[in-house]
């Protein structure tokens, strides 16, 4: 099932919503940060950040799902982008994350990913969720483990990325069993 409107999801501390034009400045700063962007294709200048944000916004129309802008409830600040993602040639149905470095260590990535995974399984009808993670990306591996994911297989991301990744993930049944426990 493809949603006809972009939903807004809420967690205890976060709002996950459609990307908006006002998100561009913090999005561009996130994309320009070499440490935050290290495993996301590398740091990008403003034109590259604009293309990334526009691609993710456009995926809502072409796929019916995409990354959400994640906003901190207490401050209203943009903290990153998290959500379902499957561009052409992608190795599976992914829920991915990218959090601005100033917000690292607060548990926002797993909190937003949990809401996104619930939505992907419940609304999109996905049977599996993956997280494409490069072997040296220890921080994302920790998030994946917190979500109950494990390495399922290896893949190479499509051009222009052409990056070898581990596909961490789990089935819908594993996710639901974990959520009930």
- Summarize pLDDT for 70-122 with one digit per residue, the tens: 999 999 999 999 999 999 999 999 999 999 999 999 999 999 999 999 999 99
Q: Report whether pLDDT(131) > 90.
A: yes
What's the angle, vertex CA 174, arms to CA 172 and CA 178, rounded to 5?
A: 115
Which run of H or of E encompasses 115? helix 108-122
Q: How confident is the model at residue 5 (pLDDT cuts 50, 70, 90)?
A: confident
Residue 86's CB is within 10 A of a number of other CB atoms, namely 20
Burial of 11 (0-12, 13-18, 19+ CB in 10 A): middle
């Amino acid at each position: 099932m493809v949603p006809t409107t972009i939903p807004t999801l809420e967690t205890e501390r976060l709002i996950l919503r459609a990307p908006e034009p006002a998100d561009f400045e913090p999005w561009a700063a996130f994309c320009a940060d070499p440490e935050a962007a290290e495993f996301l294709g590398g740091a990008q200048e403003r034109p590259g950040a604009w293309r990334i944000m526009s691609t993710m916004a456009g995926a809502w129309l072409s796929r019916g799902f995409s990354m959400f802008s994640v906003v901190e409830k207490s401050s209203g600040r943009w903290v990153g982008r998290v959500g379902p993602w499957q561009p052409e040639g992608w190795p599976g149905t992914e829920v991915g994350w990218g959090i601005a470095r100033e917000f690292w260590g607060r548990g926002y990535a797993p909190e937003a990913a949990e809401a996104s995974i619930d939505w992907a399984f419940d609304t999109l009808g996905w049977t599996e969720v993956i997280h494409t993670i490069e072997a040296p990306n220890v921080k994302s591996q920790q998030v994946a483990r917190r979500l109950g994911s494990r390495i399922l297989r290896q893949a190479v991301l499509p051009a222009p990325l052409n990056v070898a990744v581990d596909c961490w993930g789990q089935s819908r049944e594993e996710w639901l069993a974990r959520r009930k426990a």
